[in-house]
């Protein structure tokens, strides 16, 4: 496990798991949100994002946390392991709501630029995105994972994360 992708719906816990794995496995952690977002929730241009992502993918060791469905097939071609946090929509909605209120008025360290968490129209649209994520993307993600050739660790319950981390400690 030298190149690990963490994927799943927003709110599933990819960033939290990424931080834990980074410490446990001594692998650098790359947050796609840091590459994608500029100050005040402005998106990086597609070409700039793709170039920065490619530079990270070419490194020999990493954990990449984030979805960005458009680039999933490309990222899969570089990884050796995928950890898919495939949790229910209510669990993920709770995760993003909890994260919003824990960080309200602050910029998170896993985000690019100064993206201050606030409850506004964009956040409400984001909640709608999370509410429909599994319906729109779960099947497509599963198909891409089957074709990828990577080792896939498919976790459907939060307790499975703790077991996986404990098992890694035994190695």
CATH number for the domain harbouring residue 27: 3.40.50.300
Q: Please, which pLDDT band fits residue 171 given cuts at 50, 70 and 90?
A: low
Please tell me the predicted confidence (pLDDT) of residue 53: 98
- Total structural domains in the chain? 1
pTM as predicted = 0.94
Mean pLDDT of the residues in the chain: 95
Please tell me the predicted confidence (pLDDT) of residue 156: 97
What are the backbone dihedrals phi and psi of residue 167, each rounded to the nearest 5 degrees, phi first? -65, -40
Query: Is-contact 6 85, C-beta < 8 A?
Result: yes
Residue span of the structural domain in which 62 resides: 3-169
Half-sphere exposure of 85 (CA within 13 A, CB side): 27
User: pLDDT tens-digit profile of 59-90?
Assistant: 999 999 998 999 999 999 999 999 999 999 99
Comparing 40 with 133, the larger pLDDT belongs to 133
Helices (H), the chain: 14-25, 32-36, 46-57, 72-76, 89-103, 121-148, 158-169
- What is the three-class DSSP state of 154? strand
């Amino acid at each position: 496990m030298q190149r690990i992708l963490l994927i799943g719906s927003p709110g599933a816990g990819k960033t939290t798991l990424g931080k834990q794995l980074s410490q446990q496995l001594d692998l650098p952690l790359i947050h796609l949100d840091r590459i994608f977002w500029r100050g005040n929730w402005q998106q990086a241009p597609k070409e700039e994002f793709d170039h920065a992502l490619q530079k990270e993918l070419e490194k020999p060791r990493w954990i990449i946390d984030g979805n960005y469905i458009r680039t999933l097939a490309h990222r899969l071609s570089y990884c050796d392991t995928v950890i898919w946090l495939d949790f229910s929509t209510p669990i993920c909605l709770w995760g993003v709501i909890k994260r919003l209120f824990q960080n309200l008025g602050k910029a998170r360290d896993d985000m690019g630029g100064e993206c201050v968490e606030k409850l506004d129209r964009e956040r409400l649209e984001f909640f709608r995105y999370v509410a429909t994520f599994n319906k729109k993307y779960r099947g497509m993600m599963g198909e891409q994972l089957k074709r990828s050739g990577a080792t896939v660790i498919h976790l459907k319950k939060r307790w499975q994360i703790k077991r996986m981390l404990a098992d890694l400690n035994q190695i």
